[in-house]
């Protein structure tokens, strides 16, 4: 099967550890490899239709420390649609509204009915066809600067594409990293949060040629700047860290090393602040009280509560005689999800 890699950090980083491990996944995905990143507003893509482990270019990149970016997208290919060639090797790129989009996909789609508009594939893959269709839809919607309502629309659009087959994808506009995991659980993506204080991690691939201690560990504190924080997304875990699985049909949008949107879980920032306020309250809590506790405006709190209700993390108290958006409406956390919420709170606070 093909495998995907994504990275989103708050500061430009070198993908030394993640790329070295991911590159070895090319042993089982022999038909091509690619790595894309953004040195500035434009994208740089290195890719070849050969096994990553046999590539002199790939060998050079894994040791080249001058590559730095806040966003990376990687792919190793096992050909299922289209011949083994450069034009069929991921990631693919196109310009739209002055932004350079980069896209990689894992899965198989029956794609003939997907409209393309002005975007035409160069190769023969279902992946590039889906990418062109997606850009056509974004162009039709006129999305230049992404907003939360656009993320919600995108989640529905990706689920719609997913109806044509198996579909995991990672793509970027140079600012956001969009990661979608198949709605039927096919090769679901997973992610890990990298943040200080950094300790040691154990590598899952025993033949990584990287500086290890005698127990096959690497000390991240020697690899990362203390202010660096972000996420790594992959088809399979690369390390022994606590990787979390995407929910089926989940879209997570990362920006500057933070989760700013998910259609399945609370996003960092406003939604988590509101959820924490509700969970820590010893009794039901009103919208007005949440606003006072979090220092957020009523508009922000109402928007977060709407999202958390939709994702089934909270409930409105049934004794209320007002609508959920009224200041006096009261809420409590969903009892069946409190353990999950506590884990999210612990991860969010760094406890």
β-strand pairing of 251-255 with 217-219: unpaired
* More confident site: 67 or 208: 67
pLDDT of amino acid 82: 72
Q: State how far the alpha carbon of 42 is from the alpha carbons of 66, 96, 115, 118, in Å.
A: 17, 12, 26, 21
The pLDDT value given to residue 32: 86
Based on its alpha-carbon atoms, the radius of gyration of the chain, rounded to whole angstroms, reads 21
For residues 126 and 79, is the Cβ–Cβ distance under 8 A? no
Q: Is the pLDDT of residue 29 over 60?
A: no
CB of 18 closer than 8 Å to CB of 232: yes
- pLDDT score recorded for residue 210: 36
- pLDDT greater than 90 at residue 222: no
Q: Which CATH architecture does the domain made up of 3-261 adopt?
A: 4-Layer Sandwich (3.60)
Q: For the whole model, what pTM was predicted?
A: 0.88
Q: Which of 2, 132, 137, 179 is catalytic?
A: 2
DSSP state of 25: G
Please check whether residue 275 is in contact with residue 313, taking contact to mean a CB–CB distance below 8 angstroms.
Answer: yes
As a whole-number percent, the residues of the chain with pLDDT over 70 amount to 88
**Average pLDDT score over the chain:** 88
> Given this model, what pLDDT does residue 45 score?
96
The alpha carbon of residue 27 and the mean position of all alpha carbons in its chain are separated, in whole angstroms, by 24
Mean pLDDT of 199-227: 56
132 noted as active-site residue: no
Per-residue pLDDT reduced to its tens digit, 163-204: 999 999 999 999 999 999 999 999 999 999 988 777 777 767
Per-domain residue ranges of the chain: 3-261, 265-349
Query: Which of 45-59, 148-162, 215-229, 318-332 shows the lowest per-residue confidence on average (mean pLDDT)?
Result: 215-229
The confidence score (pLDDT) of residue 30 equals 67
Pick among 3.40.50.11610, 3.40.190.80, 3.40.190.10, 1.10.10.10: CATH of 265-349: 1.10.10.10
């Amino acid at each position: 099967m093909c495998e995907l890699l994504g990275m989103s950090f708050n500061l430009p980083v070198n993908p030394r550890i993640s790329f070295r491990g991911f590159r070895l996944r090319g042993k089982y995905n022999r038909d091509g490899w690619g790595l894309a990143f953004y040195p500035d507003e434009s994208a740089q893509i290195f890719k070849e239709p050969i096994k990553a482990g046999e590539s002199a270019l790939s060998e050079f990149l894994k040791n080249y420390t001058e590559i730095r970016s806040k966003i990376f997208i990687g792919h190793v290919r096992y050909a299922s649609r289209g011949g083994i060639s450069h034009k069929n090797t991921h990631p693919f790129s196109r310009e739209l509204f002055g932004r350079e989009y980069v896209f990689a996909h894992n899965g198989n789609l029956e794609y003939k009915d997907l409209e393309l508009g002005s975007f035409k594939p160069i190769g023969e893959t279902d992946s590039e066809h889906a990418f062109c269709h997606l850009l056509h839809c974004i162009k039709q919607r006129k999305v230049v600067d992404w907003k939360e309502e656009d993320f919600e629309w995108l989640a529905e659009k990706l689920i719609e594409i997913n109806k044509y087959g198996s579909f995991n994808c990672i793509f970027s506009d140079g600012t956001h990293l969009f990661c979608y995991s198949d709605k039927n659980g096919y090769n679901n993506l997973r992610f890990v949060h990298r943040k200080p204080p950094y300790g040691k991690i154990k590598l899952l691939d025993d033949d990584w040629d990287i500086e290890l201690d005698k127990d096959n560990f690497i000390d991240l504190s020697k690899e990362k700047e203390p202010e660096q924080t972000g996420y790594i997304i992959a088809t399979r875990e690369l390390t022994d860290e606590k990787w979390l699985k995407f929910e089926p049909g989940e879209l997570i949008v990362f920006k500057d090393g933070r989760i700013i949107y998910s259609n399945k879980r609370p996003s960092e920032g406003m939604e988590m602040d509101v959820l924490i306020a509700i969970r820590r309250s010893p009794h039901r809590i009103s919208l007005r009280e949440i606003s006072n506790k979090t220092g957020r405006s009523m508009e922000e709190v109402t928007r977060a509560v709407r999202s958390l209700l939709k994702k089934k993390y909270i409930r409105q108290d049934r004794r209320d005689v007002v609508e959920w958006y009224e200041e006096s409406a009261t809420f409590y956390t969903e009892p069946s999800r409190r353990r999950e919420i506590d884990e999210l709170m612990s991860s969010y606070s760094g406890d």
